[in-house]
Structure 1
Amino acid sequence: MIRFALNKGLAALLMLWIVGTIVFAVLFVVPGDPAELLLTSDGAVASQESVESLRRQMGLDKPLITQYLDFLAGAARFDFGQSLIDHVPVGKTIALRLPRTIELILAGLFLGLITGIPAGTWAGLRPGRSFDRVVSAANAVLISVPGFVTGTLFIYLFAQVLRWLPAGGYVSFASDPLLHLKLLTLPAITVGLHLFSIIFRMTRASVLEMRTHDWVRTAVAKGLRRKLVVRRHVVRNALGPIVTVVGLQMGILLGSTVLIEFIYNWPGLSGYLVTAVQQRDYPSVRAVILVVSALFILINFMVEMLYSVLDPRIRL
């Protein structure tokens, strides 16, 4: 197990270095001088002094290898320089916004897991019955509706018509815990519904497959209780694909919650990335892409570790 973890950890570090190198190189793939492009993005005419000053601020006046080493060293210290728009350290802004996005994803994941796994298990154990048909039909509708459409409908129904919850915004948990949870409820349910549809389908398919294996029929033939067979031989073996798809969805959600954050005015990392791209804030764009990539790699590493615990054959 230790050797397996070390191999996967080294592979994750190698992948992170490759991603960092690609992120660094992207700035130089764009034709033209990045400093000049930034100063003339709105049609203004920039003087040579302004261009040279911005080049020095961005570190573009240094040799390429020096810029590359400085970038890697800064990334290792979580120091990505200052934003070119508001001159605030990028690392500080990411440290402020990233927990909000992670909180939203984890809240949605919790809702998706506590509903998707039981519903998928029940439907997989009783295929073709009323519960399976109704939930599968509802799931087909859910998976075909984009998250921003669901979010808009929720705002109209629960915030404007019923007035049960606020339409959007953000308040820190420390300042007002109850209001924070109210503001989190609708975005979390929107994310949770998307995850529910995926987790339900994967759980149902996995349970249906596991029911046909010889060890399940043998356990039933030996007279083991149904609940014990389901828990130990069906659900446990069905968790592998579920863990994999949940890990992938968490990584995808780190960059795809931008519309949900925008609809609910949730100040997370995805919205910050969109603003940085629109304003050509290169240090911020670099930093956010690198941080999201690092988190995606970390999530995949954790999924592989958990998968190896659920199925020891993976370690071989």
Structure 2
Amino acid sequence: MTSYVLRRLTTALVMLWVVGTIVFSVLLIVPGDPAELLLTTGGADASTDAVENLRKKMGLDRPVAEQYVSFLADTARFDFGDSLIDGTPISETIALRLPRTLELIAVSMVVALALAIPAGTYAGLNAGKRFDRAASAVNALFTSIPGFVSGTLFIYLFAQVLRILPAGGYVAFAQDPWMHVQMLILPTVTVALHLMTIIFRMTRASVLEMRAHDWVRTGIAKGLRRRQVVRRHILRNALGPVITVVGLQLGILLGSTVLVEFVYNWPGLSGFLVSSVQQRDYPSVRAVILTVAAIFIAINFLVEVAYSLLDPRIRLT
């Protein structure tokens, strides 16, 4: 097990280095001078001295090899420099906004898992019956509704018509816990609905596949309790693909929650990335991309370790 974890950890570190190298190289191959492009946004004129000063501030006046080594060293220290827009340290902005996005994703994932896995398991065990048909129909309906559409509908229904929940915004938990929870409900439900459709389908399909195996039929024929067969022989083996999908969705949500955060005015990391792209704040864009990539790689690493605990055969690969 230790050697398997070390191999996966080494692979994760190499992937992170490759991503960092690609992100660093993108700035070098952008057509034109990044400093000049930033200063001339919106048709403004920029003097030669202003461009040179900004190039020096961004470190573009140094040799490429020196820039690369400095970039890797700063990244290892989680030092992404200052924003070109307001001069705020980028690491502080990420440290402020990232927990908000992670909170939204984590709570949504817990809700989705708590509802979708039991529903998918029950539907798979009772394939073709009334519950399976009804749950599959509802799942197909939610799958066809984009997150920003369901979010808009939720705001209209619960905030404007029923007036039982706020339409959006953010209040820190330490400042007002109850208001924080209220503002978290609608974004959580919006994200969780999308996750539930994926987890439900994967759980149902995995349970159906496990039911057909010989060891399940043998366990039933030997007189084992149905609950024991489901828990030890069906569900445990069916959770492997589900965990893989959950890990991938966690990584994808880091970048795809931008619409949900925009609809509910939730000040997370995705909104910071969008504003940085619009303002051509290249250091901030690079820092956010690296942060998201690092979290995505870390999630995949943890998923592989969890998968190996469920299925020891994975450690031999």
Which TM-score band applies after superposition, normalised by the shorter structure? over 0.9
Count of matched residue pairs: 316
Unaligned runs of 5+ in 1: none
Q: Residues of 1 paired with 2:48 and 2:41: CA distance?
A: 15
Q: TM-score, normalised by structure 2?
A: 0.99
| Map of 1:89 onto structure 2 | 89
> Structure 2: which amino acid aligns with 1:178?
W
2:278 is the alignment partner of 1:310: no
Q: Residues of 2 paired with 1:314 and 1:304: CA distance?
A: 9
| Map of 2:279 onto structure 1 | 279
Q: Residues of 2 paired with 1:143 and 1:28: CA distance?
A: 40
| Map of 1:187 onto structure 2 | 187
Deviation at 1:100, TM superposition (A): 0.3
Deviation at 1:298, TM superposition (A): 0.2
Deviation at 1:154, TM superposition (A): 0.3
> Structure 1: which amino acid aligns with 2:45?
V
1:45 is paired with a residue of what secondary structure? coil
Deviations 1:164-197 (A, max 9, x none): 1000000011111110000000000101000000
- After TM superposition, what 4+ stretches of structure 1 lie above 2 angstroms from structure 2? none
| Map of 1:216 onto structure 2 | 216
Q: Residues of 2 paired with 1:176 and 1:104: CA distance?
A: 17
Deviation at 1:109, TM superposition (A): 0.2
| Map of 1:6 onto structure 2 | 6
> Structure 2: which amino acid aligns with 1:13?
L
Deviation at 1:27, TM superposition (A): 0.5
Q: Residues of 1 paired with 2:273 and 2:147: CA distance?
A: 19
Deviations 1:90-135 (A, max 9, x none): 0000000000000000011011000000000000000111111111
| Map of 1:117 onto structure 2 | 117
Deviation at 1:42, TM superposition (A): 1.1
Deviations 1:33-88 (A, max 9, x none): 11001101110111000000101110111111111111111111110000000100
1:42 is paired with a residue of what secondary structure? helix
Q: How does 1:67-146 map to 2 (within 5 A)?
A: 67-146=67-146
| Map of 1:266 onto structure 2 | 266
Deviations 1:190-216 (A, max 9, x none): 010000000000000000000000110
Q: Residues of 1 paired with 2:134 and 2:218: CA distance?
A: 31
Counting aligned pairs with the same residue, the percent is 69
Deviations 1:247-292 (A, max 9, x none): 0000000000000000000000001000000000000000000000
Unaligned runs of 5+ in 2: none
| Map of 1:173 onto structure 2 | 173
> Structure 2: which amino acid aligns with 1:93?
T
2:174 is paired with a residue of what secondary structure? coil
Q: Residues of 2 paired with 1:298 and 1:291: CA distance?
A: 11
2:50 is the alignment partner of 1:50: yes
> Structure 2: which amino acid aligns with 1:133?
R
Q: Residues of 1 paired with 2:66 and 2:198: CA distance?
A: 45
> Structure 2: which amino acid aligns with 1:304?
E
Deviation at 1:146, TM superposition (A): 0.5
Give the root-mean-square deviation of aligned CA atoms.
Answer: 0.5
Q: Residues of 1 paired with 2:175 and 2:313: CA distance?
A: 48
Q: Residues of 2 paired with 1:43 and 1:298: CA distance?
A: 42
| Map of 2:149 onto structure 1 | 149
Q: Residues of 2 paired with 1:190 and 1:73: CA distance?
A: 39
Q: Residues of 2 paired with 1:232 and 1:165: CA distance?
A: 42
Q: Residues of 1 paired with 2:114 and 2:135: CA distance?
A: 15
1:305 is paired with a residue of what secondary structure? helix
Q: TM-score, normalised by structure 1?
A: 0.99
